[in-house]
Structures are given as C-alpha cells and as structure tokens.
Structure 1
Amino acid sequence: MNPMSICTPSSSHSSSSGSPTKAWIIHGVVVGAAIVAAIGARGYLLGRSRRFRSRAIGIIPARFASSRFQGKPLVNILGKPMIQRTWERAKLATTLDRVVVATDDEKIADCCRRFGADVIMTSESCRNGAERCSEAVQKLEKKYDIVVNIQGDEPLIEPEIIDGIVKALQVTPDAVFSTAVTPLKPEDAFDTNRVKCVVDNLGYAIYFSRGLIPFNKSGKVNLHFPYMLHLGIQSYDCEFLKLYPKLEPTPLQLEEDLEQLKILENGYKIKVIKVDHDAHGVDTPEDVKKIESLMVEKNLS
C-alpha cells in the first residue's frame, strides 16, 4: 500500500438514486471491511502479546492549517516557536530512542530543520494526529514497537509523563494504546477544549468526552468528585497504529470529534496512568500569554 494514500478519507456513498436494497448492500460491504480490519489487527496483537515492546519513538504531528489557531506550531513562546519547545521537552524522555516531527507544511518543516529536528513529510489528507503518526512511522527505515503521539500544543509536557505512558504500554500487552490523565480543575469542567476521561478499577479507559463525565442529576460540578482531565499525549502499539486508518470512523468518534473513541468502539483496550500535571495546552492565541507568564514564574524560559 502506498503510504501517501493511507490518510485519504473514504469516499461517501449517496443513497438518493439507489434502491434501499443496494444501499444496505453498500452499508454491509463498508461494515464488513471495518470488521475485517478490526479482526486483522486483533489477530496480530494476539500473536505478539507475549513479546516485550522495547523500542519507542516519539512523533510530534504538526499542521499549519487550523480552524481555531492558524499556524499554531510556529507561534512564538518567549523567543522560540512552540514546536521547538515541545520537541526539546520530548527529547528529555529516557524511553524514546528518537523524536521526529511529522508535518504536511514546508514552513513548519523548514523551521524544525533549523533547530535540529528530524522531519517526516506527510499527506495533507490526514484527518487527525493518529493518522499522521501512522503515515510517518511507515516511512521510517528503522522498526519500532511503540509510537508516542506527542501533541505539539503542550510545550510544557513533562518528560516523565512520556516515560510513564511508554512503560504502561510495555507492561500491558492486552492494550494497544496508553495515555495519561490528571485531576480536572472545576473551572474547566464545561470547557469543550478540555477532554475528560473515566477509568475503570484496573486502569483502563471507559470513555472520553468533551462534556463533563460522569454527569450528575443536578447538572452542576460535584466539588467532591475526582474528575479526570485527559492530557494530550498517547502511545500506540506500532503495528496497531499502521492498521488504525483502515478502521472506519465510528459514531461516537464523529460526534465527540475524539480519535480515542474509535479505538474503544472497536473493542480495543486503552491503558491510563494518573499523574499530577498542571496542564497548559495552547488552544487559542490567548493561551500563549498564559504559558509565557507561567514559564517566567517557574523560571523555565
């Protein structure tokens, strides 16, 4: 398969001119293809479940076009582009053998090369960070067991968190994905840019949402409940990540616009670690000043 084609969205089927029977046949073919892809991934993972995942690579997906913040990876934060600050933090993680930037934009690529980062060019048609990481890893000559998707808009991500999710996936062979959560601040409870997560007693994700979960009858924040905020970092089993784009988009994923839900809806397990991290992602231009003030306060400039 041509690596450049894996991010291309599936073409939509119109049912306006076809018969109901034909529409159901088409629907069955699409669903059947998704099931085959899921079974293929599942079968591979069952075969490798006893193998220790040793080699890990960090990939920072970055695109220039963004509906909320155009050119966000290149925004200046105390004299350095944000993508550089994220890359420098990721390079401090002890579990990563390599850190690369995956982008479809030459301006981002040129910037990253100037400060010394390895860059992999990817297709403009990638629909999310996971698909961009998937395309990038297939262009690498060296083989890896774990791919860490590091969000470029978390310039203060702690290297210890990167190491934590890598180790979590290494010791949990039945999971294909690992991520981290931290306590949610009450003032962020209804912020749809802050993704929430609920976790079971064994440390596996139950659900992710842009809304407040769990939600109670009063419709208000329960100040005594330990709500969890999902941090923008996740690691994947490398072979599962290659198969990920073949899985059809799922209803919950599309409704919430959260790629993690496609993994859960297909029956795969996500391991979650809990950390204490004062999350400071950059979602809007206004967030830049907050980040800079915090860095000056903590002497991180």
Structure 2
Amino acid sequence: MSVCSSSSSGSWSSTKAWIVHGIVAGVAIAVAIGARVYLGPPKKFRSRVVGIIPARFDSSRFQGKPLVQILGKPMIQRTWERAKLATTLDHVVVATDDEKIRECCRSFGADVIMTSESCRNGTERCSEAIQKLEKKYDIVVNIQGDEPLIEPEIIDGIVKALQEAPDAVFSTAVTSLKLEDAFDPNRVKCVVDNSGYAIYFSRGLIPFNKSGKANPQFPYMLHLGIQSYDTGFLKIYPQLEPTPLQLEEDLEQLKVLENGYKMKVIKVDHEAHGVDAPEDVEKIESLMLQRNLS
C-alpha cells in the first residue's frame, strides 16, 4: 500500500507541475495572440518610412559615445549624414534622453525627439519616439548610432525586404562572419531558413558542430545591428513580456521570434565597423580616410 501511495503522490505532483506549466504557457500564448490581433495583417503597401537613430549618453562601456569626435564631427552627426543618403527614408530623426545630445544634433540640423530614460533598448526608444512624431509612418528603421560607416544601401535593403514580406513585422541584415570572431560574444550570429526568415540569434557560434570548433568551410552569418519594424508591431513591442531566450542571450530580437512573429533577413556584403569602445575610434578614422569619407 505504501508503494502505491508513493506512486500516486508522485503522479499527482507531476500532474500539478504540468497544470502550472500549462497555465504559464497559456498566459504567454494569450499575450502573443492578443498582440497579433492588435497588429493584424498589413492592409496596404507599407510605403511611408522613417529612420530613427536612438542615442543615449550613459553607457557602461563608453560614456558619451554619440558625441565622440570622428575626424572633426560628432559620431551621431556622421551616422545621421549617412542615413540621409538612403532613398527609402522619408524622414530621419534622432531619439535621445540627453540634453547634450539634443543640442548637438540641433546644431547640425537634425530633428530630435526626446524620450524617457527608462527605455531599456533602442527598440523601446524607437517605439516611444514614433508615437511622438506628428506624421504617421508604416515602417520604422532603427539605425544604430555607433555605426558611422553604415551604408545607405543596407538601409534601403531592409526596408524593401519588409515591404516585400507582408507576413513579417521585422527585418534585419546579416553579413559573413570572420572566423576570428566565431566565439566573440559581442558578435551576434544568426541562422535563417530557406525562405530568408530568421530562425535564431545567438552570442555563441551557431550552428555548432560536434568537434566544438569553427568550421572554416561553413558560411556563418554575423548579425548587423540595423533593423526595421512594422509600425503597428513596434507600438505593441514594449507590452510583450521579456522571454526566456531573450533574457538568457540578452538579445531583443529573440523576444520577437519567441512570440511567433516572422523576421525577414537579407544577406549583404559589409564590413561591420561599430564603435564599441574608445579604441575603435582610431580604426574608424583610418577607414574613413582610406575611403575618402572625411
């Protein structure tokens, strides 16, 4: 009898665990479904496009990074000037929570939207900024302020990719990963399906083989920070709760995938030249001089 009692008790505990798991999963699914209903399918061609450059002064790795001088101009200005060359953007604005950045941007003619200090990432800052703009837009492009060499063609590429994929709410770009960056956690890797939709992003090497080493013959892909969103989705993005994979990898794109949304990915030929630390400035300046971009 005691054996039967123990088995019954264990079975009930297991059942309770599955019930709790089911409730939690059900809540998560309900949130995702609610967001999907809120967004709904695109009803028309998404033609109106705004580029937003999120910029914050406080950074754990490089405080004041947007204002650092690159060949005589603030980095935020360099990025803004490159973004203005994109043919698909109807407007370009800077979104910041810092007065120094606002004054700097206004000095070279950029429009600025002030956002709150509570924004946890660039996507949330874009979400707040789009709701403060007077004009309505169908697509928002999140342009990383620390890539002063961003190519306008890449901006145009991800915009067109989203316009041509009505089932996607998000688009981004990848390029070839250098073998020496295979295990660098600051170099985010991406894998896509046969139709060009994102499967997963990781700070680790993906795919990972049995040898535990990078395969020099495999075309690993490096994620570039630039991304565009359907405006309707961007408005509900902050309402989605953080997801386990997002929190574990510290990658905001994973929250999009974990909630069942589709993300279009384009492959481009691009040398990633972001400014992550003060020592990167000299490298950027050398590249700009080589390319006559001063």
Tell me if TM exceeds 0.5. yes
Choose from 86, 91, 94 the match for 1:93.
86
Query: Contact 2:41 / 2:167 at 8 angstroms: preserved in 1?
Result: no
Query: Contact 2:169 / 2:230 at 8 angstroms: preserved in 1?
Result: yes
Match of 1:116 in 2: 109
Matched residue count:
276
Match of 1:202 in 2: 195
Helix, strand or coil: the match of 1:175? Answer: coil
Q: Which 4+ residue blocks in structure 1 deviate beyond 4 angstroms?
A: 27-31
Pairing 1:189–2:187 present:
no
Letter in 2 for 1:299: N
Q: How many angstroms apart in 1 are the aligned matches of 2:236 and 2:202? A: 24
Q: How many angstroms apart in 1 are the aligned matches of 2:227 and 2:80? A: 15
Q: How many angstroms apart in 2 are the aligned matches of 1:280 and 1:191? A: 15
C-alpha distance 30-243 of structure 1, shift in aligned 2 (>3 A) = farther
Match of 1:242 in 2: 235
Letter in 2 for 1:119: V
Deviations 1:112-152 (A, max 9, x none): 11111000000100001100000000111111000000000
Match of 1:164 in 2: 157
Match of 2:73 in 1: 80
The alpha-carbon deviation at position 162 of structure 1 amounts to 0.3
The alpha-carbon deviation at position 73 of structure 1 amounts to 0.7
Match of 1:273 in 2: 266
Q: How many angstroms apart in 2 are the aligned matches of 1:132 and 1:120? A: 10
Q: What fraction of aligned residue pairs are identical, expressed as a percent?
A: 83
C-alpha distance 51-211 of structure 1, shift in aligned 2 (>3 A) = same
Match of 1:15 in 2: none
TM-score scaled by structure 1?
0.88
Q: Tell me, which stretches of 5 or more residues in structure 2 are unaligned?
A: 1-15
Q: How many angstroms apart in 2 are the aligned matches of 1:64 and 1:285? A: 14
Pairing 1:144–2:141 present:
no
C-alpha distance 198-29 of structure 1, shift in aligned 2 (>3 A) = closer
Letter in 1 for 2:166: P
Choose from 194, 213, 227 the match for 1:220.
213
Query: Contact 2:123 / 2:142 at 8 angstroms: preserved in 1?
Result: yes
Deviations 1:200-252 (A, max 9, x none): 10000010111111111122111100000101100000010000000000011
Helix, strand or coil: the match of 2:135? Answer: coil
Cα RMSD (Å): 1.8
C-alpha distance 66-31 of structure 1, shift in aligned 2 (>3 A) = farther
Match of 2:34 in 1: 40
The alpha-carbon deviation at position 31 of structure 1 amounts to 6.9
Match of 1:16 in 2: none
Choose from 220, 229, 250 the match for 1:257.
250
Helix, strand or coil: the match of 2:169? Answer: strand
The alpha-carbon deviation at position 196 of structure 1 amounts to 0.7
Choose from 47, 54, 62 the match for 2:47.
54
Q: How many angstroms apart in 1 are the aligned matches of 2:174 and 2:226? A: 9
